[in-house]
């Protein structure tokens, strides 16, 4: 397997505050990897370290198999799309796209305003630059904007230009720092599909930073969940969702949030939870605390109270057309449980009424008090999947 980007023990502090605490990550060549985490967790800092715009205190970065720690940003063959787009406001779109090519293909003398034009070779090179700019602009459907300044463009158009400026010099690695977060919701979904398509067409490594789990889940081959400068889990999107390694990952991913219910082990194979008893193997000794994680869709309706059935009062019902979300107050729980029920169940629960929920035990995620995922020996549903091999 060849690696696009390899990070080893990257550590970074700004003054006394540690921002990255030993991040290690292997990103396969051609992979679409997303760094997902709340704002302020160090995602942008990590991306800037990969680009060479920031220096790590400890650790190494390799791109395409060679260490790049001593290389300047220009020499690393990476391109970046910034959240604020960072287009040059005084240059036209065409000049914005051409600049990275001019800086790479023309010599210092050839770039001089007047003299450069008469030097031998400049014309031919300028021709190839213009051709490449036109090609990129056409691919992104911004060819009619080339004469405009960034200030005259809409947000979506600026975003395309920013992608174009990264694309035009055909880098080995694409870095994107929340490129869609300044767009409105509808445009964001459309651009999401375009970025996915772009990745498919270019086939190069993408490292994408976002705090939006929908972007991470829909775009990525793998997602790296980051919190407070640490990677908690790196896995395929559906494993991040269904098989989180850590309680914080389970909480961060999924909307509505996962229900976390505190329980206590009654005896081997039985856990007391929210006024009832579940037949669950926890691997923990009697009397130990354990947290049960239940996604909203892990509940089914039950006829009556009993073992393995959670009973509570309906606080709120949310109809979303296809689904019905019931917020249920249960004994011993501060936050209400949120259960997703089929919309046809409309007839069943009523506001203020009593609801019986039977969690599907094979969907229960168990967490130790320190947040670690508990995996008792027998209950193995999902095997961790290997990295995607490049085609």
Ligand X SMILES: Nc1ncnc2c1ncn2[C@@H]1O[C@H](COP(=O)(O)OP(=O)(O)O)[C@@H](O)[C@H]1O
Neighbouring C-alpha atoms within 13 Å toward the C-beta of 59: 24
In whole angstroms, what is the distance from residue 58 CA to residue 228 CA? 17
* 19: enclosing H helix or E strand: strand 17-28
Does residue 151 touch another protein according to CB under 8 A?
Answer: yes
Residues 153-172 that bind another protein (CB under 8 A): 158, 165
Annotate 58-102 with DSSP letters as a single string: EEEEEETTEE-TTS-GGGGTEEEE-TT----TTS-HHHHHHHHHH
Does residue 51 touch another protein according to CB under 8 A?
Answer: yes
Does residue 213 touch ligand X according to CB under 6 A?
Answer: no
Does residue 74 touch another protein according to CB under 8 A?
Answer: yes
Does residue 113 touch another protein according to CB under 8 A?
Answer: no
- Tokens in use for 181? 């977060």
CA distances to 92, 104, 133 from 110, rounded to whole Å, are 20, 11, 18
Chain position carrying tokens 């709340």 = 38
Assign 4 to helix, strand or coil: strand
- Residue of minimal Cβ distance to Mg ion: 44
Given ligand X, another protein, Mg ion, none, residue 45, with its beta carbon under 5 to 8 Å by kind, binds ligand X
Binding positions for Mg ion, rule: CB under 5 A: 44
Does residue 85 touch another protein according to CB under 8 A?
Answer: yes
Sign of the torsion angle spanned by Cα atoms 108, 113, 119, 125: positive
Stretch that binds another protein, among 60-68, 143-151, 325-333, 361-369 (CB under 8 A): 143-151
Buried b (16+ CB within 10 A) or exposed e, 59-69: bebbbbeeebe
Total interface residues for ligand X by CB under 6 A: 10
Chain position carrying tokens 């994107």 = 176
Please state the closest distance from residue 80 (CB atom) to ligand X, in A: 13
Print the binding letters for residues 28-67 with ligand X: x by CB under 6 A, - otherwise.
---------x-xxxxxxx----------------------
For residues 38 and 342, which CB has a smaller minimum distance to ligand X in the complex?
Answer: 38
Please state the closest distance from residue 98 (CB atom) to another protein, in A: 10
Please state the closest distance from residue 72 (CB atom) to another protein, in A: 7
When binding is defined by CB under 8 A, the residue of 15, 16, 89, 120 that contacts another protein is: 89
In whole angstroms, what is the distance from residue 104 CA to residue 114 CA? 19
Does residue 99 touch another protein according to CB under 8 A?
Answer: yes
Residues that bind ligand X (CB under 6 A): 14, 19, 37, 39-45
Residues that bind another protein (CB under 8 A): 48, 51-53, 72-74, 78-80, 82-90, 99-100, 103-104, 149-151, 158, 165
């Amino acid at each position: 397997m060849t690696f696009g980007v390899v990070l080893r023990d990257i550590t970074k502090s700004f003054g006394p505050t540690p921002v990255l605490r030993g991040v290690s990550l292997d990103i396969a060549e051609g992979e679409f990897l997303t760094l997902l985490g709340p704002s302020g967790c160090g995602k942008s800092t990590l991306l800037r370290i990969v680009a060479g715009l920031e220096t790590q205190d400890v650790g190494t970065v390799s791109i395409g198999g060679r260490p790049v720690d001593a290389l300047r940003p220009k020499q690393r063959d990476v391109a970046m799309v910034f959240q604020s787009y960072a287009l040059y406001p005084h240059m036209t779109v065409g000049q914005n796209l051409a600049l990275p090519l001019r800086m790479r293909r023309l010599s210092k003398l050839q770039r001089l305003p007047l003299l450069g034009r008469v030097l031998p070779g400049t014309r031919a090179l300028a021709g190839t630059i213009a051709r490449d700019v036109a090609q990129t602009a056409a691919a992104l459907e911004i060819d009619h904007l080339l004469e405009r300044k960034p200030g005259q463009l809409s947000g979506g158009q600026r975003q395309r230009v920013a992608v174009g400026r990264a694309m035009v010099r055909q880098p080995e690695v694409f870095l994107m720092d929340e490129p869609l977060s300044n767009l409105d919701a509808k445009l964001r979904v459309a651009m999401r599909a375009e970025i996915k398509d772009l990745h498919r067409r270019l086939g190069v490594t993408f490292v994408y930073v976002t705090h939006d789990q929908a972007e991470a889940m829909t775009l990525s081959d793998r997602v790296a969940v980051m919190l407070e400068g640490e990677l908690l889990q790196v896995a395929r999107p559906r494993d991040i969702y269904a098989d989180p390694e850590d309680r914080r990952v389970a909480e961060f991913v999924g909307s509505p949030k996962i229900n976390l219910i505190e329980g206590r082990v009654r005896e081997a194979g039985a856990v007391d939870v929210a006024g009832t008893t579940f037949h669950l193997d926890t691997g923990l000794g009697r009397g130990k605390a354990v947290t049960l994680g239940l996604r909203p869709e892990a509940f089914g309706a039950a006829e009556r109270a009993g073992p393995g059935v959670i009973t509570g009062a309906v606080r709120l019902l949310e109809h979303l057309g296809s689904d019905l979300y019931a917020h249920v107050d249960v004994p011993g729980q501060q936050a209400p449980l949120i259960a997703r029920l089929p919309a046809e169940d409309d007839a069943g629960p009523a506001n203020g009424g009593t609801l019986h929920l039977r969690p599907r035990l094979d969907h229960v995620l168990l967490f130790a008090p320190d947040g670690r995922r508990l995996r008792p020996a027998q209950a193995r549903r999902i095997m961790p999947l290997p990295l995607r091999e490049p085609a």
